Structure 1
Amino acid sequence: MTKGRNTTFDERVEIVQYCIAHNHNYRETAEKHQISYQQARNYTIKYESDGVEALNDSRGKRKSKEQMNELEKLRAENKILRAEKERAEMEVSFLKKLEEIERRRY
């Protein structure tokens, strides 16, 4: 069983074309392109359901501020503020525990 590997967009397109041309033979496609069976199958299914754009790997990519609409900007700002608030609350909690430990010590 071949372990999956990272592929580029062009490689994914080529893999899908080969797989479809060879009657959806995922095993043969996986062996030829040195990818896992599951990758060959997933790429083909994504292509057939959503087209060539579905083969783009957009994991971990965020929109720039220019691309965001007003609601998305507000949500991002809200998320940042919540994280800052949570950090401040943890800091206060830590300091209270530290004071309590120091009081017990003496």
Structure 2
Amino acid sequence: KRNSTRKTTFEERLEIIEFLIKHDINYYRTAEKYDVSYAQVYNWYKKYTKSNNDPESLRDNRGKRKSIATMNDLERLQVENRLLKAQLEQQKMEIAFAKKLVEIRNRGVKKN
């Protein structure tokens, strides 16, 4: 059985697309050979052809963030604001947890 969500590198995707093209765009055969899903091969080829055969279209850029140096002032402030909001939320959860812990401990004291 094929691992339908196997992670692949950019180089692997390039190799897969090259194989696909050399073998008459046979998605099934390519998927079998490289142990990836039919859908992955199909989607990579679709991206590749949509970008006028630009190999860079096969790169997976999810999770890549701009570096602080390339951000303008507004973007930098927005990032800082998000981080501060996350820290504030973390502090609120910690305080709520501590209050609940004290409440639970006090219940045991009252019963004795």
Q: 1:78 aligns with which of 68, 76, 81?
A: 81
After superposition, the Cα gap between the structure-2 partners of 1:48 and 1:95, relative to the gap in structure 1 and judged at 3 Å, is same
1:63 aligns with 66
2:82 is matched by which residue type in structure 1? K
Bigger CA drift: 84-93 or 14-23?
14-23
Give the superposition deviation at 1:36: 2.3
Q: Structure 2: where are the runs of 5+ without partners?
A: none
Bigger CA drift: 72-81 or 11-20?
11-20
2:41 aligns with 40
After superposition, the C-alpha distances for 1:22-72 in whole angstroms (9 at most, x for unaligned) are 332101112233322222112101111233222012233332211223232
- The count of residues paired between Structure 1 and Structure 2 equals 106
Where does structure 1 differ by over 6 angstroms across 4 or more consecutive aligned residues?
none
When the two structures are superposed, what TM-score results if normalisation uses the length of structure 2?
A: 0.74
* SS of structure 2 residue aligned to 1:66: helix
After superposition, the Cα gap between the structure-2 partners of 1:101 and 1:42, relative to the gap in structure 1 and judged at 3 Å, is same
Identity among equivalent pairs (%): 47
Q: Structure 1: where are the runs of 5+ without partners?
A: none
When the two structures are superposed, what TM-score results if normalisation uses the length of structure 1?
A: 0.77
After superposition, the Cα gap between the structure-2 partners of 1:95 and 1:2, relative to the gap in structure 1 and judged at 3 Å, is closer
